[in-house]
Chains A and B, each alone.
Chain A
Amino acid sequence: MRRNVPFLVKLLAIIGFGILYVPVIMMMIYSFNKSKLVSVWAGFSTKWYKELWTDDILITALYKSVLIGISSATISTIFGLLIAIAFVRFASFRGRLFLSLVASAPLVMPEAVTGLSMLLLFIAMEASFGWPSGRGIDTIMIAHATFGMCFAAVVIQTRLRDMDKSLEEAARDLGGRQPFVFLSITFPLILPSIIAAWLLSFTLSFDDLVIASFVSGPGSSTLPIVIFSKIRLGVSPEINAVATLMILSISAFVILGSLLVLRRDGKK
């Protein structure tokens, strides 16, 4: 009987969910508005969606964002895995404190600070060694991979720590050697967390505006940068349409992923 949640609690919770969802749902509705005027409903139309495909700037930016997202997420995941292994499997090593510091500080560093400091380094490096020449996709990739790997490390670390160590010990007892034991036993067991880490790094990169703004150069505007500059010009049905598509596609992934995870947990 004490499981009953008081009415006031439920009411506040529903308002909370309202705060999270009402703006996005309204935006989605208005993305189908015929009128150019945002707030006047002039009938249902999908014309803004059709116009998106002819907007070259958006399409190019999308392509760049996906490219940067995939490459930086891959680097992030590999390095995140290495960091996780270092922390969970190696009890003590020289530089442990340093690694734990530099692997966790980016998690709390304000984006503006990270972006600014990286840009300053890139400029100093260019002045000293001539690399990287100018800023572009490669510098954004490096920046995203750097903070992405810290998030990836956290995700994989949690899973690796929960893993039964005796499984690895059993494999070694039966004559397995590294890295075979890792690849045949550990890796498959932590694979879900590796996938989750990759997806997290990808979304972080794909959604990032601030860091990318600092370390991008002319002609390397990512999708958030393009959208941000459009938003500053005012609300428009076209951005409504882009935003709706992006949110819907990511939400579809999240729902699918959650269903898979919950179903697996449910079976246990």
Chain B
Amino acid sequence: MMRIFFQKYGFLLVIWLPVGWLSLFFMLPLIEMINVSFSEARRAVPPYNPAFQIGEKGISFQPVFDNYLLIYDYWGDYLWPAVNSIRLAFFSTVWCLFFAYPMAWWIARSKKPLQHILLVLVLMPFWTSSLLRMYALIGLLNPNGVINDFLLWAGIIVTPIQMMQTDFSIYSGMLLTYLPLMILPLYASLVRLDNALLEAAADLGAKNWEIFRTIILPLSLPGVIAGCLLVFIPAVGEFVIPALLGGPEQLMLGKVIWTEFFRNRDWPVAAAIAIILIAIIILPVVYARYQDKEGLS
């Protein structure tokens, strides 16, 4: 009985259970968010008047564009954080690449026991909470944190350096959070690099720098692209890092959504900003998928 049931309906079950769940709890929320972003804000519970309604008077759809217009009018408050998100995410990606490439190279070229140890060292932060690591970073960067204390004690500085709430603290946080994501694809592409290719280049007269420029770098380019996308996409929407380490100058969209929602209780505007955030990441995401397809063929 069970067996016949499985053979007949197992196929449908395997597909439609996850499709159902993800439609209900991923697609539908996005649609509802779009709905809210076109809704009118009001002082009530919930604090908006839905654009799309099914009520006693039947189905009605009355979108309002106020929220997007508001974002446009107060562009200094909303669009600037958008640009800022892109800027901070971009330079964070560059910094990650700067440190991750040597790290991945070293790991890929090292011998067995050391290689395993280094890989575990890269993976460990990946599994531990980013929130806690950001907290640890605060302890280091604070005006009365470990670094300032040490420098004061050593007599190198007289007054504490302002490191928190600067671009520096944001980049430190991003490095701490996203370095492993950059290292892993780079490592994967570098470790596959055949040593014979490097020897062939050397044999044909290439010096170290030329070997890097003509062989290593071009062949690890897929890893570089994958790593950059893996860092840039989540970094744009980051909340914890700007919230804990950034000041007003380091405002990012993830934090603006939070503030609009929890502080200002302006749900429609929060939803509209979320839509803008999706619009920002959609380009790199589509590119990543396109790259993926290319890689498979």
Contact = CB atoms under 8 A, between A and B. Distances in A.
Contacts of B15: 82, 86, 90, 93, 95, 99
A2 B198 contact: yes
Given A23-B139, A27-B136, A116 B261 contact: yes
Main SS class of interface, B: helix
A163 interface: no
Contacts of A117: 29-30, 32-33, 271, 274
B290 interface: no
Contact of B106 (A5, A99, A262): A5
A15 interface: yes
Nearest to A258: B120
Contacts of B119: 258
Nearest to B285: A108
Interface in A1-46: 2-3, 5-6, 8-13, 15-17, 19-24, 26-27, 30, 38-39
A59 interface: no
Contacts of B270: 116
Contact of B14 (A82, A145, A213, A251): A82
Contacts of A9: 102, 105-106
A6 B25 contact: no
Interface in A180-238: 203, 206-207, 209-210, 213-214, 224, 227-228, 231-232, 235
Contact of A16 (B99, B116, B132, B144): B99
A243 B110 CA distance: 32
A112 B280 CA distance: 14
Q: Chain B contact residues (Cβ within 8 angstroms of A): what range? A: 35 or more
B257 A235 contact: no
B184 to A, nearest CB: 13
A170 interface: no
B180 to A, nearest CB: 8
Contacts, number: 268
B132 A243 contact: yes
B132 A209 contact: no
A110 B86 CA distance: 13
A179 B127 contact: no
Nearest to A26: B146
B123 interface: yes
A19 to B, nearest CB: 5
Main SS class of interface, A: helix
A113 B277 contact: yes
B271 A111 contact: no
B79 interface: no
Contacts of B25: 118, 121, 142-143, 146
B254 A177 contact: no
A111 B132 contact: no
Given A12-B102, A19-B176, A108-B285, A251 B32 contact: no
Interface of B: 3, 6-7, 10-11, 13-19, 21-23, 25-30, 32-33, 36, 46, 50, 54, 98-100, 102-103, 105-107, 109-110, 116, 118-125, 127-133, 135-140, 142, 144-146, 148-149, 172, 175-176, 179-180, 195, 198-199, 202, 208, 211, 233-234, 236-240, 244, 253-254, 257-258, 261-262, 267, 270-271, 274, 277-278, 281, 285, 288-289
Interface of A: 2-3, 5-6, 8-13, 15-17, 19-24, 26-27, 30, 38-39, 79, 82-83, 85-86, 90, 93, 95, 98-99, 102-106, 108-114, 116-118, 120-121, 123-124, 127-128, 142-143, 145-146, 149, 153, 177-179, 203, 206-207, 209-210, 213-214, 224, 227-228, 231-232, 235, 239-240, 243, 246-247, 250-251, 253-255, 258, 262
